[in-house]
Amino acid sequence: MTEVLMTPTRTKSSLGNAVATALLCVGVYFGLVVTLADQYLHADLSLGLPLAVRTLIAVFGGLIGAIIFLAGDDLGGSLSTVKLLATIAVAFLVLGTYFGLFVAPPEQFMGEVQRIMYVHVPTAWNALLAMTFAFACAIFYLFNGDWKWDALMEGSIEVGVILAFLLCCQGAIWAKPTWGVWWDWDPRLTTTAVLLFAFLGILALRKFVEDPVKRGVWSSVATIIAYADVPIVYFSVRWWNSLHQLQSNPNTVSKPFWIPLRANAFGILLLMTAFILLRARVSKLRLENELAPPPLLEAELGEAV
Amino acid sequence: MLTAALRKEMLLQWRTRAQLMAVFVFGAAALLLFSFAVGPIAEMLRLFSAGFLWLGLLLSSTLTLAESYHAEMENRALEGLLLLPANPRSLYYGKAIANWIQLVILGMALVPVMVILYDAGTTRIFALFVVVALGAAGLSAPGTLYAAMTAQVRSRQTLLPLLLFPLIVPALLASVKATSLIILGDPMGQLKSWISLLIAFDAIYWSLCGLLFGRVVEE
């Protein structure tokens, strides 16, 4: 069993990491560096690409880069990737926080309150990404039964649940001064809350099932079903009640606001990737322990008796 | 195959009909208790009657759904059923349809209770029946699938609602809204769009859950 769990794919993994790093660098370059240079050095580094193309490259570079990191990891013992990702993530978050709190001007209509958007919007993007990744892991696990996907699924559901919880809290903090109430039945906030409870239920299911195979299959099935619910919940709540402001795009958000938003988006993306990898390692070790528990040491045996 | 599975389920339900009666009493008691949440303000009760009806049905449904695998869990009967040259999908649909029929009966039985307690009468009985049938279908498809999992683990009574409730939010919302429109009047003609939402929800989950059921019961 342990052999199945630890198929060494060192070369494939390092190639994947190289590709992922390259994609992330391209994403950061077009998403952040170009804007920073334009804003503060008045230099045009855009290589002649129009804004829409640059935004697309930034989004997909970051997304696909993170996904390759996650999917390509062999969940081996080495933590160097995780540590590196977390360090870079913290650097981005420090940059984003600095720009968001001290550099970006207060918003014209909403004032200082608007600054929570620099955390809120990136959290929303990444929470959805974590859930989507869990959904993909669930499908892969159902099709090929590789334990790696089970571990990654558990990791991404847990990280996604935490992000969704933070998202609800930030939404409430935003709603109080803006709309005068802590909770507003807006489609996105409500969908996040429903998603949070749905995935908490799946984590509870995982805790209650002892057989690892059943646990993996059942939580995959539950993840697929819960994920299919997201668009239905969104549209039904939207029909039911709507108040939330429209989604923004680079054309409706002025440039000084981009930098903290994007720095935080990359920061949370990398931090999330690192956490999922770390959590998946824990989950894999637990599984190995369940399938083949290490023999008790003599000292422990003495205590147990 | 499907008819055989359905026949088995219906027979089982007929023989345990006392249980359905008990669940109905539970649902009616829930409807009675809900009125204390709002107080004896007749106008408010009438306004919220659809929501109360569906919450009552939802709470009762967790009882019937959780019980629906009772017979399969005894003497490892589920394994026996899977050994038959039958498709697990027909087992699922048999059970889901049986649960659906049970919930429709329960829902229609709770309607008179709602009418009496909350003064929420309507003449559009057929429209109400359609909404109850579609809403119950939305509860029974994922409910039957989740019950297959939770019946096999500890603390099934907690786990089933935990998994089911967040999932059926769209079906609950649409059913409540549609029932409300039937009872309180529908000046904007919105009933159709809620019914189509229910149909879409049912179509998605009846097909998706049928596809995935085989993986849930496999050994």
Q: How does pLDDT run across B31-78, given as a tens digit for each residue? A: 999 888 887 888 888 888 899 999 999 999 988 888 888 777 777 777
Q: Tell me how far CA of residue B110 lies from CA of A216, B28, B44, in angstroms.
A: 39, 6, 19
- Smallest CA–CA distance, residue B216 to chain A, in Å, is 6
pLDDT of B89 strictly over 80: yes
Contacts of A160 (CB under 8 A, 6+ apart): A127, A130, A131, A133, A134, A199
Nearest Cβ partner for A232 among B145, B170, B216: B170
- Smallest CA–CA distance, residue A188 to chain B, in Å, is 14
Contacts of A239 (CB under 8 A, 6+ apart): B193, B194, B197
Structure-token pair, residue A210? 């002892």
The string of DSSP codes covering chain A is -HHHHT---HHHHHHHHHHHHHHHHHHHIIIIIHHHIIIII----STT--HHHHHHHHHHHHHHHHHHHHHH----S--HHHHHHHHHHHHHHHHHHHIIIIISPPBTTTBGGGGGHHHHHHHHHHHHHHHHHHHHHHHHHHHH--HHHHHHHHHHHHHHHHHHHHHHHHHHHHHHHHHSSS----HHHHHHHHHHHHHHHHHHHHHH--SHHHHHHHHHHHHHHHHHHHHHHHHHHHHH---PPPPP-TTTS-HHHHHHHHHHHHHHHHHHHHHHHHHHHHHHHHHHHHHSPPPPPHHHHHHH-
- Smallest CA–CA distance, residue A231 to chain B, in Å, is 10
Q: Which residues of A touch B146 (CB under 8 A)?
A: 222
How many residues in total does chain B contain? 219
Q: How does pLDDT run across B29-42, given as a tens digit for each residue? A: 999 998 888 878 88
Q: Which residues of A touch B200 (CB under 8 A)?
A: 232
Structure-token pair, residue A125? 């993007």
Mean pLDDT of A70-89: 80
Could you tell me the pLDDT band of residue B16, with boundaries at 50, 70 and 90?
A: confident
pLDDT of A103 strictly over 50: yes
Could you tell me the pLDDT band of residue B139, with boundaries at 50, 70 and 90?
A: very high
Q: How does pLDDT run across B107-122, given as a tens digit for each residue? A: 999 999 988 888 887 8
Chosen from A191, A195, A225, A241 to mutate, greatest number of chain B CBs within 10 A: A225
Structure-token pair, residue A73? 């990891």
pLDDT of B160 strictly over 80: yes
Nearest Cβ partner for A208 among B154, B165, B212: B154
pLDDT at B52: 92
Q: Which residues of A touch B158 (CB under 8 A)?
A: 204
Chains A, B: CB contacts under 8 A, how many? 87
Could you tell me the pLDDT band of residue B3, with boundaries at 50, 70 and 90?
A: confident
Model pTM score: 0.84
Q: How does pLDDT run across A269-279, given as a tens digit for each residue? A: 889 988 998 88
Mean pLDDT of B172-176: 92
Task: Return the amino acid letter for A69.
Answer: F
Backbone angles phi, psi at B69, to 5 degrees: -105, 15
User: What span, in angstroms and rounded, lies between the C-alpha atoms of A292 and A283?
Assistant: 14
Q: Tell me how far CA of residue B28 lies from CA of B53, B59, B102, in angstroms.
A: 9, 11, 16
pLDDT at B86: 77
Rounded percentage of chain B residues whose pLDDT exceeds 90 = 35
Q: Tell me how far CA of residue B178 lies from CA of A195, B46, B169, B172, in angstroms.
A: 24, 15, 14, 10
Nearest Cβ partner for B177 among A205, A233, A240: A240
Q: Which residue has the higher pLDDT, B47 or A39?
A: B47
pLDDT at B78: 78
Judged by phi (left if over 0) then psi (alpha if -120 to 50, else beta), residue A104 lies in beta
Q: Which of B73, B199, B74 is nearest to B137 (CA)?
A: B199
Judged by phi (left if over 0) then psi (alpha if -120 to 50, else beta), residue A102 lies in alpha
Q: Which residue has the higher pLDDT, A293 or A176?
A: A176
pLDDT at A243: 45
Mean pLDDT of A133-156: 90
Mean pLDDT rounded to a whole number for chain A: 81
Q: How does pLDDT run across A108-132, given as a tens digit for each residue? A: 666 777 788 888 888 988 998 999 9
pLDDT at A60: 83
pLDDT at B28: 92
Q: Which residue has the higher pLDDT, A14 or A274?
A: A274
Mean pLDDT of B96-108: 92
Could you tell me the pLDDT band of residue A18, with boundaries at 50, 70 and 90?
A: confident
pLDDT of A6 strictly over 70: no
Mean pLDDT of A272-289: 88
Q: Among A199-208, B22-31, B147-156, which stretch is predicted with the lowest mean pLDDT?
A: B147-156
Q: Is this complex scored with an ipTM above 0.85?
A: yes
Q: Among A10-24, A86-100, B67-81, which stretch is predicted with the lowest mean pLDDT?
A: A10-24
The residue with tokens 């990898």 is A277
Task: Return the amino acid letter for B24.
Answer: F
How crowded is the C-beta side of B89, counted as CA atoms within 13 Å?
Answer: 8
Q: How does pLDDT run across A246-257, given as a tens digit for each residue? A: 555 555 566 667
CB contact under 8 Å between A198 and B212, yes or no, is no
User: What span, in angstroms and rounded, lies between the C-alpha atoms of A273 and A271?
Assistant: 5
SS3 category, B68: coil
Q: Which residues of B touch A222 (CB under 8 A)?
A: 146, 149, 163
User: What span, in angstroms and rounded, lies between the C-alpha atoms of A282 and B39?
Assistant: 52
User: What span, in angstroms and rounded, lies between the C-alpha atoms of A226 and B168?
Assistant: 10
Q: Which of A158, A159, A136, A160 is nearest to A148 (CA)?
A: A136
